[in-house]
Amino acid sequence: MTRPKASNLRVIYKGSLHINAPPSWSPDGKQLLFGAHDGTSPSHLYLLDTADAGTRTLSEFPDENPAWSPDGTQIAFISDRSGSRELYLMRADGTSQRIVTEVGRWRQLQYIWSPDGSRILLIGAQTGGSGQLFVFDVHSRRVEQLPADSRRTAFSWRP
């Protein structure tokens, strides 16, 4: 494996925010989406433009784990703004934020977009319960619970 030369690297963000999870590149590679906090407040979502390193806030709530839709038009993220950890969607510009799941009492919630961006697969475990698997249809906004093996903690889409 070849290591990149230091001259090929550039800093695209240098600030006081503490990034709390791996960032998510936009499909076109021009923006970086991440959850971060300033050390005194909960995590918020930020969008960084890689051309000018300009950062703007997308949310003012305790939000985390953002991920771009494959076509770059939407962003999924986890929030506890409703009082429990739930999945939310918003447009890529941060507008039209809406809740997807309303199950409540999640202690763990993970998700992954389908390759075509039409669905989101979720795995969640409620407090005092075992893992549950759901598919969210982005267009119809329906959530369907699937049979799940409670021992499963990871998943992916098969092309």
Mean pLDDT of the chain: 79
Q: Backbone phi, then psi, for 59, in 5-degree steps?
A: -145, 155
- Model's pTM, two decimal places? 0.80
153: in domain: no
77: in domain: yes
151: in domain: no
Residue with more model confidence, 111 or 132: 111
Establish how many alpha carbons lie within 13 A of residue 64's alpha carbon, considering only the half-sphere containing its beta carbon. Answer: 18
Give me the mean pLDDT over the 114-134 stretch. Answer: 81
* Domain of residue 93, CATH code: 2.120.10.30
3-state secondary structure string across the chain = CCCCCHHHCCCCCCCCCEECCCCEECCCCCEEEEEEECCCCCCEEEEEECCCCCEEECCCCCEEEEEECCCCCEEEEEECCCCCCEEEEEECCCCCCEECCCCCCEEEEEEEECCCCCEEEEEEEECCCCEEEEEEECCCCCEEEECCCCCCCCCCCCC
63: in domain: yes
Radius of gyration of the chain (CA): 17
Give me the number of domains the chain comprises.
Answer: 1
142: in domain: yes
The model's pLDDT over 40-85, given as tens digits with 9 standing for 90+, comes to: 667 788 888 888 877 888 888 888 889 999 999 999 998 888 877 8
User: What confidence tier does 117 reach under pLDDT thresholds 50, 70, 90?
Assistant: very high
Q: Backbone phi, then psi, for 78, in 5-degree steps?
A: -105, 140
